[in-house]
Amino acid sequence: MPSSGVGLPDLARRRWLDRLRKPSPSGDKGGRGEDDEAQEEEDGSGSGDVYEPDELAEKVLNMIRNGRAMRLEDAVQAASSAFGARPEEVARRIYELSSAGMVAIRDPDPPRSVARFLREPAYSAWYWALLALVAGTVAVVAASPGAPLIYARYALGALFVLYLPGAALIELLYPKKSDLSQLERLALSLGLSLALVPLVGLVLNYTPWGIRLEPILASVSLLTVGLATGAVVRKHSYVRLQAAALGASARRSNA
């Protein structure tokens, strides 16, 4: 995977960060007026817990804010040399700042095709893991039931029915990692799976195959793989749009 670039996020996040950095006068709501609170509601920065950087994270953040976008490796090395910190500590602070929306990490050369996107583990590891679980479930169910396999059938079958279809649909509907937290993705995946699988059974009830093991196994497999493949296409489009936006921002900075 090409080296990532690190820089500032969008303007709304930058305004939010500036407000966060201002000292709070005593006797008011942390130094924020009604206009500030309204702006927070508008850009979504007033909700949730506020990440409070430690001393090293503050230094790294100031270095990024005072400079231009740079390669992630260069940012880690520069901060490590300037502040006397280990590279892994700096990398962890940058990740925390990125998770809090205070800096933006982008791939300057994302995959240009879906085929290359699928070959990059950083982008498609979830897809191959999902396909491996589907294939493993089909293989275990198709094998002759025996004592060693019965518990694997129970475990993979529950995951296959209760989680995988909804997880694939969630990845399709919310391609951005920041759209939902991991807990929200898990909860929605379980709920949507409980909604999708009965619909598959309802459709099969009106077909010549009926509601039997083999048709259900094939139908849920095809549904899950189809949704996951659609999610891959959508995620690839989003990554390309991110790269285009980063390039446009860099050209404006250099102009």
pLDDT in tens, the chain (255 residues): 444 556 555 554 555 455 444 444 444 434 444 444 444 444 444 444 566 778 888 888 888 777 666 777 888 888 888 888 888 888 888 888 877 777 777 766 778 889 999 999 989 999 999 999 999 999 998 886 666 788 888 999 999 999 999 999 999 999 988 789 899 999 999 999 999 999 999 999 999 999 999 999 999 999 999 999 999 999 999 888 877 776 666 666 665
Is the same domain home to 130 and 238? yes
Rounded Cα–Cα distance for residues 227 and 229 (Å) = 5
Are 223 and 131 found together in one domain?
yes
Range of the domain at 236: 114-242
What pLDDT is attached to residue 108?
Answer: 65
CB 234 within 8 A of CB 168: no
Calpha distance 226→158 (Å, rounded)? 20
Tell me whether residue 251 is in a domain.
no
Q: Would residue 187 count as lying in a domain?
A: yes
- Measured CA to CA, the distance from residue 192 to residue 167 in angstroms comes to 8
Does a structural domain hold residue 235? yes
pLDDT of residue 246: 66
Q: What is the DSSP letter of 3?
A: P
Residues 94, 36 share a domain: yes
Q: Are residues 126 and 18 in the same domain?
A: no
Rg of the chain over all Cα atoms, to the nearest angstrom? 23
pLDDT at position 74: 80
Asked if residues 3 and 105 have their Cβ atoms less than 8 Å apart, the reply is no
| pLDDT score of 62 | 84
Question: In this structure, are 125 and 49 located in the same domain?
Answer: no
Domain assignment present for 238? yes
pLDDT of residue 1: 42
Q: Are residues 125 and 234 in the same domain?
A: yes
Decide if 255 is inside a domain: no
